[in-house]
Structure 1
Amino acid sequence: MGGSWWEFIAGELRQARLQAGLSQEDLARRINYSASHVSGVETGQRAPKADYLAAIDQALGTGGMFGRLLRHASLVQGAPPWMRPWIDDERAATLLRWYEPAYVPGVLQTEAYARMTLAESLLSADEIEQRVASRLGRQAILTREEQPCQLVAVLDVMVLRRPLTGHAALMGQQLAHLVKMAALPHVQILVVPEDAGLYPALQGGFIMASLSDGSVVAYLDYQIRAQMMHRSEDIATLQRHWGAVRGEALSRRQSLELIKEAARSWI
């Protein structure tokens, strides 16, 4: 199974069972699994699956804790190693300012679009599925019931026009999803039009996360690694770039109309 998160969950499962005064055989009878299955999970020989953890949560009255741990573990384990430190900051952010010159931002991607953008990579099929699951899991920050994260995304117009070869319908579905997400009160999707020409930051996307303590951290993604930034000088530079690209973008209403027009063009 491997991985510190899975080992952590296995250890917590064992601890919860012991605190409840249950042997592995006792717990197995309660959740209708075999004792060997319980042992396999606790020793790391079996991966903890969602249905198993749901049964544990119900049997031990843990309020869904183990299900939540599994979702977070899947989110982190499926992400590239260099991205994992960023995920916690992203989940804690009250505001994300996201600039993308090439792709739809990950938190706004459909499953099909996410899979297609990873399909040309050198990843195995299993790695692609893990990363797709992680990317989709990150989107919960926008749809959670309590204090969803505010998002202001600025996209270069070529994001709307760049074809996924042989998959015009998929692009149409992705842009229709952008229209749906843009209707959320805490989500703004702005587009830099073609007549902006060359402008600062066009050479690479970045994300700035504002945290509840007033601090800002940033994330720059490259092909084989990423860089997180905390230094005030670096953040100030990115904020100037953000001001520049935001200034080139169309208004929220104009951007939405452009996205709708692009979506129709892919049908």
Structure 2
Amino acid sequence: MAYECTDGGTGAGVAEPGASDSLRTFGAVVQALREHAGLSREEFGALVRFSKHTVASVEQGRRMPDRDFVERAEEALGNTGALRKAAPHLSRQAGLASWFRQWARLEATAISLYTYECRVVPGLLQTEAYARAVSLNVPPLPDPEELEERIAARMARQELLAVTRKPPTAFSFIVEQAVLERWTGGEAVTREQFDRLLGVIEGNWNVEFQVMPLRQPSHAGTDGPMRLAETPDNQWFAYSEGQQNGRLIAHAKEISLLQQRYAKLRSQALTPEDSLGLLKRLRGAL
């Protein structure tokens, strides 16, 4: 079951997609089946183990339902097969920042994805509360509808992490310790974000997570964040992003340079084991 990648996932100034006809139709069917079963959104949410707000977002066509939602909804609503058969055909409108669209298409089918981030927790690893805080921190402030669409798109994008994808994508994340200790959104948001990181690291064997320590005299990433992606036919692409712009990189020489830098960053960051230990200590201190 495929779900389209829809979100840049880093800064707040990236335009997000709106609801598509397919999402609105799917949501209307969910709502009709739920009401036919005599369930409130809160009651249905308890059955599918999602919040009533998530249920509302799906029913209103603002959120791409992930595999767990579809399967649990089928069970809760009589196993008609309608939701399961409709889910592979769901898509969002383009709605991405123009500079991110090509990368999003590559990322959705990549077999390897490497991310170095020095600004925020990568979008694939953000909680809903953290994504909201990031979106509200950077002017201009989005209107409420845009904010909800942005967050929904970011959460839907996290389907890429699933180990059940065929083949599952191999992820490497390197994140600056300063990003983790910034407390974006406050203590409660940070606590939840640490729990999310720990859950992904310990529960997804396809994810490697490393922390770049605060003190590292030799640092290969001082030119800023970077992403690298390997396609199913083993071609490599790269992406760099700044203020209100981004650049897809396809030139072999540039990609080779960024691969060298990423390899160096991996050797300079804490090991995955030490990174996990640091995360647990930071979480325990909250």
TM-score, length-scaled by structure 1: 0.72
Distance in 1, Cα, partners of 2:129 & 2:218? 31
Q: Does 1:128 align with 2:143?
A: no
Q: Does 1:145 align with 2:164?
A: yes
Match of 1:161 among 181, 187, 190: 181
Match of 2:194 among 175, 200, 203: 175
Alignment-derived partner of residue 196 in structure 1: 216
3-state SS of paired residue (1:190) = strand
More helix by share: 1
Contact preservation (8 Å) 1:96, 1:151: yes
Alignment-derived partner of residue 134 in structure 2: 117
Distance in 1, Cα, partners of 2:121 & 2:61? 32
TM alignment of 1:241-260, pairs within 5 A: 241-260=261-280
3-state SS of paired residue (1:81) = coil
Tell me whether 189-198 or 170-179 shows the greater mean CA deviation: 189-198
Contact preservation (8 Å) 1:150, 1:186: yes
- How large is the Cα RMSD of the aligned pairs? 3.1
The alignment-based identity, stated in percent, is: 26
**Which letter maps to 2:212?**
V
- Post-superposition shift, 1:104? 0.8
Contact preservation (8 Å) 1:209, 1:217: yes
Q: Does 1:101 align with 2:121?
A: no
Larger Rg over CA atoms: 1
Contact preservation (8 Å) 1:103, 1:159: yes
Q: 1:64 to 1:95 in 2, by over 3 A?
A: same
Q: How many residues align?
A: 220
Contact preservation (8 Å) 1:173, 1:263: no
**Which letter maps to 1:239?**
Q
Per-residue CA distance 1:163-218 (angstroms, 9 max, x = gap) = 225x1111111011111111121111001112213512234111101111010111
TM-score, length-scaled by structure 2: 0.68
Q: 1:191 to 1:230 in 2, by over 3 A?
A: same
Alignment-derived partner of residue 37 in structure 1: none
Distance in 1, Cα, partners of 2:105 & 2:191? 32
What stretches of structure 1 of length at least 5 have no aligned partner? 14-31, 33-46, 55-60
Distance in 2, Cα, partners of 1:202 & 1:208? 17
